[in-house]
């Protein structure tokens, strides 16, 4: 089989072969207004220029993907097909070349104006690890966990694009031995390696969305780092769940990989036993074989396998709407921390260091339990793509400021 190739040069190790075509929002050097683009190799193609003078072009000449996403799956497919043709045939090479910008010369923005943000908890290994740490002596996995994808709403106003500096949050904490809570900067600042899903086409209030309608509503996926202050979280989270321990910042990658690029990555979820209720049973699997990599100050500290997530993103969507809650363009939901069964597959520092008991040693000889000021965390991910190529997600990175 010959892989489809673009005439735009794509380095062999690129995250962005023509089989990927992830969407982002960027401002070119020497321009003032953001617009929608698609990444190809080391370049971004300005889609607003390709469709200039049309209603679609107007929807692409904006600071978020939302207006494009609202157009729905038929139009998503049309644009992807057209961009693929532009990049693989040379029929309009001059037009394309005039609107290619080097990615390293543009400014990338938050790709989506986030409507509601929900975070799930879909890794059995992660939920078990946290249960053991937060409720020692109790049942690690709570009784509801295998019946529904546990989730909660987070703060959409503090979702930021990769590269945004993360200020260490202040707040209340109280250890079991402290007589009263104390106030101060978090001393247990952590990460959570997740994949986020972006809703493109909304749904009507009162009408649950069927699990098999996933790709008619969800447009694509991003990398997501759900920064977490474990000390703040541990003190506040009963009985209504995490609040300030999470709401200070959530970082996502600048590129939204469309589901259409992830067809070859689809896998069955692990066996779900007991069998879920019918509204959660998918006919076609939407587990995804993504290999995630977590770097702390350039050292790989974990390689969580997304294929092992117990609940699929389609099941998360179906669950979110089963009570009649509507979806809106721009809704974002995170998978929850992705952790595998092995010690070096855990997607958070609290698991990697077992709540600080087993510090990590970095290549420079320093050790970490939780994040220190100046630390940078970067998530990357790869998936099998069409034609045997590798689909990459770019990265989501952030540096902690004290």
Binding site for a second copy (CB under 8 A): 115-118, 121, 131, 134-135, 142-144, 147-148, 150-158, 160, 167, 169-172, 174, 180-181, 183, 205-206, 208, 229, 232, 235-245, 247-249, 274, 277-279, 319-320, 322-328, 331
Does 126 participate in catalysis according to the annotation? yes
Phi first, then psi, for residue 208 (nearest 5°) are -60, 145
Minimum distance of a second copy from residue 162's CB (angstroms): 15
- Residue with Cβ nearer a second copy (138 or 363): 138
Selecting among 32, 101, 126, 217, the annotated active-site residue is 126
* Inter-residue contact 7 to 76 (CB < 8 Å): no
As beta bridge partners, residue 92 has none
Minimum distance of a second copy from residue 219's CB (angstroms): 17
Structure tokens given for 63: 């600071």
- Residue with Cβ nearer a second copy (276 or 384): 276
- Residue with Cβ nearer a second copy (137 or 365): 137
Query: H or E element: which one contains 2?
Result: none
As beta bridge partners, residue 184 has 171
d(CA 339, CA 266): 18
* Inter-residue contact 63 to 109 (CB < 8 Å): yes
Minimum distance of a second copy from residue 35's CB (angstroms): 24
- Residue with Cβ nearer a second copy (7 or 134): 134
Cis peptide before 352 (omega within 30 of 0): no
Half-sphere exposure of 294 (CA within 13 A, CB side): 28
* Inter-residue contact 101 to 26 (CB < 8 Å): yes
Minimum distance of a second copy from residue 158's CB (angstroms): 5
d(CA 305, CA 7): 33
DSSP states of 90-109: -TTHHHHHHTEEEGGGSEEE
Minimum distance of a second copy from residue 85's CB (angstroms): 36
- Residue with Cβ nearer a second copy (53 or 274): 274
> Which residues participate in catalysis according to the annotation?
126
């Amino acid at each position: 089989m010959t892989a489809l190739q673009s005439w735009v040069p794509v380095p062999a190790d690129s995250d962005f072969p023509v089989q990927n075509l992830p969407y982002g929002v960027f401002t070119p050097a020497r321009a003032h207004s953001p617009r929608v683009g698609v990444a190809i190799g080391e370049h971004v193609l300005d889609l607003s220029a390709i469709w200039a003078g049309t209603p679609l072009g107007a929807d692409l000449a904006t600071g978020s993907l939302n207006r494009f996403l609202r157009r729905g799956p038929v139009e998503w497919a049309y644009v992807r097909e057209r961009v693929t043709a532009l990049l693989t045939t040379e029929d309009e090479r001059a037009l394309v070349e005039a609107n290619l910008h080097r990615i390293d010369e543009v400014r990338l923005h938050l790709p989506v104006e986030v409507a509601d943000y929900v975070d799930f908890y879909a890794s059995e290994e992660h939920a078990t690890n946290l249960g053991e740490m937060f409720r020692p002596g109790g049942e690690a996995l709570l009784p509801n966990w295998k019946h529904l994808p546990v989730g909660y709403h987070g703060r959409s106003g503090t979702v930021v694009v990769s590269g945004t500096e993360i200020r260490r949050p202040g707040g209340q904490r109280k250890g079991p031995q402290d007589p009263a809570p104390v106030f101060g900067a978090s001393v247990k600042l952590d990460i959570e390696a997740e994949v986020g899903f972006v809703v493109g086409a909304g749904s009507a209030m009162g009408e649950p969305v069927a699990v098999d309608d996933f790709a008619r509503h969800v447009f694509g996926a991003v990398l997501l780092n759900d920064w977490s202050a474990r000390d703040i979280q541990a003190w506040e989270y009963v009985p209504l769940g995490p609040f300030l321990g999470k709401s200070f910042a959530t970082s996502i990658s600048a590129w939204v990989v469309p589901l259409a690029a992830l067809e070859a990555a689809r896998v069955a979820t692990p066996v779900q036993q007991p069998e879920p209720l019918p509204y959660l049973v998918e006919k076609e699997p939407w587990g995804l074989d993504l290999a995630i990599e977590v770097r702390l100050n350039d050292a790989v500290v974990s390689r969580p396998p997304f294929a092992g997530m117990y609940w699929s993103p389609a099941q998360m969507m179906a669950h979110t709407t089963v009570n009649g809650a509507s979806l809106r363009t721009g809704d974002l939901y995170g998978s929850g921390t992705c952790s595998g069964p092995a010690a070096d597959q855990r997607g958070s520092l609290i698991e990697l260091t077992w709540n600080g008991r087993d510090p990590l040693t970095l290549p420079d000889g320093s050790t970490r339990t939780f994040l220190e000021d100046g630390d940078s965390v970067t998530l990357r991910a790869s998936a099998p793509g069409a034609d045997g190529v590798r689909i990459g997600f770019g990265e989501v990175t952030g540096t902690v400021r004290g």
